[in-house]
């Protein structure tokens, strides 16, 4: 049984490594992990993780400026994520001095897949792996409806979602939940080490409270367990937190988010 501290480390590793499928744009340095896809100028899809910067404020500010420079030069917005192991303790205030804006915090959860609940798929629901561009378009359409994202913005993010490919052993996979002929739910899974990271969870409003969200969460995790993965991690909204806790996820920490935009 892992300690809370070990689970936090698993969460930090899973969330940051979930972007490692972008080998040309994923950078792991001695004191920080950062990822930037210049063709996808969306703040949530470009970012900085696991920063362990100098305790001296002046040195830390200088290092922050160095890390920000590629984003500035490319005019790409990004998010700086602060998790428990990040340092110094006043990193947030130093980021604000450099012009970043605090955007709040989100619960970070983890689950040992050895304790995964049984999967029960609601009658009529079919869950499928996205295997081609047409299915990804359906995934994007449903996701944009749930989160009210303009179609143009979804088009901009398309290269990011396509980068993982469509194979059955890809490092990133998308799933759709289908009722009849309608895509009513989505999920995205990234694989790294022995960790799977969930994101892109969405259920159309008129199909909620039917067990679809639970099924879309558990389905890829059962597949991952069979492939030998051990832990699942995710960043949740406060609204979705009860669902994940019901499925066995436990909150271990918060993630503070700071954003920067250029131009």
Residue with tokens 């989160």: 147
What CATH code is assigned to 4-107+255-260? 3.40.630
Q: Phi and psi of 188, rounded to 5°? A: -130, 140
Q: How far apart are CA 258 and CA 203, in angstroms?
A: 27
Sign of CA dihedral 88, 197, 30, 39: negative
Three-state SS for 50? Answer: coil
Angstrom CA distances, 59 to 34, 63, 88, 175, stand at 19, 6, 11, 44
Helix (H) or strand (E) holding 78: strand 78-82
Mean pLDDT in residue range 31-41:
96
101 confidence band (pLDDT: 50, 70, 90): very high
Give the confidence band of 239 by pLDDT, cuts at 50, 70, 90: confident
Question: Which residue from 256, 252, 236, 249 is spatially nearest to 3, judged by alpha carbons?
Answer: 252
Token pair belonging to 86: 């990040």
Overall size of the chain counted in residues: 263
Residue 60 pLDDT > 80: yes
Share of the chain above pLDDT 90, in %: 94
**Helix and strand numbers, DSSP H then E, in the chain:** 7, 11
Task: Give yes or no for residue 26 having a pLDDT over 80.
Answer: yes
pTM of the predicted model, to two decimals? Answer: 0.94
Asked if pLDDT for residue 92 goes beyond 70, the answer is yes
Query: What's the confidence (pLDDT) of residue 263?
Result: 64
User: Mean pLDDT across the stretch 223-232?
Assistant: 96
* Mean pLDDT in residue range 170-180: 96
| Lookup result for tokens 């295997």 | 131
C-alpha 39/C-alpha 19 separation (Å) is 15
Average pLDDT over residues 73-88: 97
How far apart CA 86 and CA 180 sit, in angstroms, is: 46
Partnered with residue 226 across adjacent β-strands are none
**pLDDT for position 1:** 76
Band (pLDDT 50/70/90 cuts) for residue 43 is: very high
When the pLDDT of each residue in the chain is averaged and rounded to a whole number, the result is 96
Give the rounded distance of the alpha carbon of 124 from its chain centre. 28
Question: Residue 29 has what pLDDT?
Answer: 97
How far apart are the C-alpha atoms of 230 and 127, rounded to whole Å?
22
Reply yes or no on whether the pLDDT at 151 is more than 90: no
Residues 210 and 239: their CA atoms lie apart, in Å, by 16
Same fold, 4-107+255-260 and 113-253: yes
Q: What is the DSSP string of 137-203?
A: HHHHHHHHHHHT--HHHHHHHHHHHHTT-S-TT-SEEEEEEEETTEEEEEEEEEEETTEEEEEEEEE
Q: Where are the domains of the chain?
A: 4-107+255-260, 113-253
Does residue 221 surpass a pLDDT of 80?
Answer: yes
Using the predicted structure, report yes or no on whether residue 249 has a pLDDT greater than 70.
yes
**Topology of domain 113-253, CATH:** Aminopeptidase (3.40.630)
Distance CA 107, CA 193 (A): 22
Write out pLDDT tens, residues 102-128: 999 999 999 999 999 999 999 999 999
């Amino acid at each position: 049984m892992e300690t809370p501290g070990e689970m936090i480390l698993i969460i930090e590793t899973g969330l940051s490594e979930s972007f490692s499928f972008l080998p040309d744009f994923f950078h792991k340095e001695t004191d920080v992990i950062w990822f930037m896809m210049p063709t996808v100028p969306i703040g949530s899809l470009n970012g900085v993780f696991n920063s362990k910067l100098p305790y001296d404020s002046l040195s830390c500010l200088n290092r922050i400026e160095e890390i920000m420079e590629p984003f500035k030069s490319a005019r790409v917005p990004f998010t700086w994520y602060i998790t428990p192991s990040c340092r110094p303790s006043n990193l947030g205030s130093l980021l604000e001095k450099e012009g970043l804006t605090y955007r709040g915090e989100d619960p970070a959860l983890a689950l040992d897949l050895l304790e995964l609940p049984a999967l029960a798929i609601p009658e009529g629901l079919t869950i499928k792996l996205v295997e081609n561009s047409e299915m990804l378009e359906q995934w994007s359409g449903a996701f944009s409806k749930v989160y009210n994202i303009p179609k143009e913005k979804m088009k901009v993010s398309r290269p990011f979602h396509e980068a993982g490919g469509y194979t059955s052993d890809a490092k990133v996979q998308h799933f759709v939940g289908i009722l009849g002929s309608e895509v009513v739910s989505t999920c995205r899974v990234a694989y790294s080490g022995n960790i799977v990271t969930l994101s892109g969870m969405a259920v159309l409003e008129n199909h909620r409270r039917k067990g679809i969200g639970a099924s879309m969460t558990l389905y890829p995790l059962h597949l991952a367990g069979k492939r030998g993965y051990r832990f699942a991690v995710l960043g949740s909204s406060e609204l979705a937190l009860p669902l994940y806790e019901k499925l066995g996820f436990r909150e271990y920490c918060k993630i503070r988010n700071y954003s920067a935009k250029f131009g």
